Structure 1
Amino acid sequence: MSTTPHTSPTPVTVIGLGAMGRALAGAFLGAGHPTTVWNRSPGKGEDLVARGAVRAATAEEAVRAGEVVVVCVVGYDASDAILAPLGDALQGRVLVNVTSDLPDRARAAAAWAAERSIAYLDGAVMVPTAVIGTPDALLFYAGSRESFDTYETTLRALGGRTTFVGEEPARAAVYDLSLLDFFYGSISGLIHAFAFAKAEGVQAADIAPYLDTIVGIMPPIASGSAAEIDAGSYPGTEANLGTMAASVDHILHASRARGLDVSQLEAIKKVADLAIARGHAKDDWASTYEALVKPA
C-alpha cells in the first residue's frame, strides 16, 4: 500500500446501517466519496440510496466495491460473523472496524486481519449521530499507521477531530471505554443531584443553570489529576481527600434520609475511605486511584 495520502474521492463501503452506520455513510456521501452500503436485514438505507449510495446485494459485493471498508454493527460477535467469510474479498483493502466492544475483542479482530494480510484499523466514534461529519466530531483510530496516513483525508469526512492513537490495535477501544466511563459516571451523578434537589423541594431546572460552575472546573482537574496519577504523586495543595470525603458523607446521609438510592455514593465513599486508610487524607482526590487499582 502506498503511504501517499489519498486526496481524491475514495470508493468506500459501509457495512451496518443502524443509526450510526447511516450517519457515517451519509457523511462519506456528503464529502463526495462513492459509497456502497450493505445491511444484514433489508429495509434500511433508502435515504442513502436516494442520495446516490449503491446498495450491494451481498456483503462480499459491498466489500469488493470499496477501497476502505467501514464496519459499524452492534458488537464484535456480529462483525466477526459478517467478516469471517470475506478474507479473500478484503485483500488489498483497508478494513476499518468502528464497532464498539472490549479492547480484547479489538485485539482479536486485528489478529484475524493480520493472519490474512488485511490492512486493519480499529476505531471508536465518540459523538452522537447528529455530530458525524462536522468539525467537532471526535473519532479515534488505532492499528495500521500506514493505512491511516494513506486514508486520513477520507476518514476526516466523518469528523474534524479524527485522531490516530497508536499502532496497538486496542488503543481506540481503550480511549472509547475510558471516556465513556467518565461520561456515564458523570451523567449518573447529575441525575442523582437532580433527584436530591427534588427530594428537598427544589426543581431540577432551578439547579441546572449553576452546574456550569462545576463543569467549568473539570478540564483543569482532569489534566491535573492525569499528571498526578502518571507521576504517582498527589499533593493536596488546594483541597484534600479527607475534607472532600466528609462532603461526600454529608450528601450520602442527606440522600439516604430522603429515601434515595445511594449505591453510587456508597461506592464513592468506600473508595475514598480506603485511600484515607492508606494515608492519603491530606492528598488530592486523585490519590483514590491507588485504592481503585489495589482494592484489597
Structure 2
Amino acid sequence: MKLAVLGLGNMGSALAHCLLKSGHDVSVWNRTPEKAEVFAEVGATICSSPNDAIAASDFVIICIKSHTETVELVNGLSFSLEGKTICDMSTGDTSDADRLVAILEKQGAGYMLGMINAYPSGIGGDETTILTVGSAGTWDRYGSVIGNLGGKSAHVGEKPAALAALFAGLFTVRQGFMFGMIYGALVCQKAGIPMQVYADQLPATIKLVKDYHDLFARTVPTEDYDNAEASLKVYAMAQEDALKTYLSLNAPADFIRLMHDRTKTAWDDGHGDRQLTSLVQHMTDA
C-alpha cells in the first residue's frame, strides 16, 4: 500500500512522521519545499508536485487549510483520480465538503473526510480519535491506516454532513465548558474573589462533568427521562439563583440566562419532573 501526505504544517508533519514510524511507504509534498526535505532523512519520498505525490499513491491524505483549497488542488491535477482514495483532513463546512466529494466521485475516486480530535503531539496515541466519513468500502481498505494515526479512531458514516455536524456538536461541548469557566471568572471577579481561589476550586467542579456525561449517555440515546434524581425544575431554580447573582453584581449574564430560559421554558411545558437532559427532546420538538 502506497500512501501520500500533502501539506506538511504542524499537523501534516505529525501525520507523515507517524505513518513512516509505522513502516508505511509514504510520499510527501508541501508548497514550501524546504518543509518536505527533512522527511527524506526518515525514509519518505519527496515529491515536487501534488501530481507526483498522488500519482505514486493509493491512499492520499491531504492536510491543508480548507476543503476549498483541496478542491483547487484536485482541480489542478493533470490526470484522473480513478482508483485513488483521497482523505481530506482539512477543515470546512458542509457545502465545501459536498463540493469536494462531488468532484472526487465524478472522477471515480474514493473519498474519506477526517476530523482530528488531537493536537499534533497526540498523533499516533492510543487514546487519540480521528472520526471519518467515507464512500463505501474505504474504511475497510484504509481504516487500519487511520488507526495508526489514532487508536480510538472510527468511521461514522458516508455523508459529509455527518462529520460537519459531529464536529459542531463536539466543538460546542468543549467551547461551552471553556465559556462556562470564563463567565464564572467574570462573576467571581465582580465579587472580589481572587482568580487563583476560583481556579483552585475548578477541579472539584470538573469531577462532576463525568457524572453529567454518564447521565447524558444513560438517558438521551434511550429517551428515558423519568425518575430524575435531580429534576429539571431543580436545575431551573438553581439557574435562577445564579442568574440573580450575576445581575446583582452587574456581571455579563447572557450565558447563564440562555441556560435558565431554555430550562424554564421546558418546565413550563411540563418537563419539570423529568431529567435535565430531556431538553434534547423538548428543543427538538419545539
**Band the TM-score falls in, shorter-chain normalisation:** 0.7 to 0.9
Residue number in structure 2 paired with 1:6: none
Alignment partners' CA distance in 1, 2:194 and 2:64: 39
Task: Report the AA paired with residue 70 of structure 1.
Answer: I
Task: Report the AA paired with residue 140 of structure 1.
Answer: L
Deviation at 1:162, TM superposition (A): 1.8
Residue number in structure 2 paired with 1:272: 263
Deviation at 1:154, TM superposition (A): 2.1
Change (3 A) 1:183 1:69: same
- Counterpart among 236, 241, 258 of residue 232 in structure 2: 241
User: Contact (CA 8 Å) 1:143, 1:167: kept in 2 or not?
Assistant: yes
Alignment partners' CA distance in 1, 2:212 and 2:192: 31
Deviation per CA, 1:217-248, whole angstroms, max 9, x where unpaired?
Answer: 33343343245334444225211122212222
Change (3 A) 1:117 1:173: same
Change (3 A) 1:29 1:199: farther
Deviation per CA, 1:126-175, whole angstroms, max 9, x where unpaired?
Answer: 11111111112111112234222222222222111121222334333332
Q: How does 1:102-121 map to 2 (within 5 A)?
A: 102-121=93-112
Q: Secondary structure at the match of 2:220?
A: helix
Task: Report the AA paired with residue 75 of structure 1.
Answer: S
Alignment partners' CA distance in 2, 1:261 and 1:90: 53
Task: Report the AA paired with residue 219 of structure 1.
Answer: K
- Counterpart among 16, 22, 38 of residue 31 in structure 1: 22
Residue number in structure 1 paired with 2:161: 170
Residue number in structure 1 paired with 2:181: 190
User: Contact (CA 8 Å) 2:232, 2:274: kept in 1 or not?
Assistant: yes
Alignment partners' CA distance in 1, 2:101 and 2:263: 38
Structure 2 residue 271 is matched with structure 1 residue 288: no
Change (3 A) 1:153 1:43: same
- Over the matched positions of the two proteins, sequence identity in percent amounts to 23
Alignment partners' CA distance in 2, 1:95 and 1:87: 16
User: Contact (CA 8 Å) 2:68, 2:92: kept in 1 or not?
Assistant: no
Alignment partners' CA distance in 2, 1:241 and 1:286: 8
User: Contact (CA 8 Å) 1:95, 1:120: kept in 2 or not?
Assistant: yes
Higher relative contact order (CA 8 A, sep 6+): 1
Alignment partners' CA distance in 1, 2:190 and 2:37: 47
Residue number in structure 2 paired with 1:218: 209
Q: How does 1:138-153 map to 2 (within 5 A)?
A: 138-153=129-144
Residue number in structure 2 paired with 1:93: 84
Change (3 A) 1:36 1:223: same
Aligned length: 286
Alignment partners' CA distance in 2, 1:17 and 1:190: 34
Q: Secondary structure at the match of 1:100?
A: coil
Structure 2 residue 134 is matched with structure 1 residue 134: no
User: Contact (CA 8 Å) 1:121, 1:147: kept in 2 or not?
Assistant: yes
User: Contact (CA 8 Å) 2:6, 2:12: kept in 1 or not?
Assistant: yes
Alignment partners' CA distance in 2, 1:30 and 1:267: 48
Deviation per CA, 1:165-222, whole angstroms, max 9, x where unpaired?
Answer: 2233433333222211111111111222233333333333333444344333333433
The TM-score normalised by the length of structure 1 is: 0.85
Alignment partners' CA distance in 2, 1:268 and 1:100: 30
* Structure 1 gap ranges (5+): 1-9
**Superposition RMSD on alpha carbons, in Å?**
2.5
Alignment partners' CA distance in 1, 2:255 and 2:151: 35
Residue number in structure 2 paired with 1:5: none
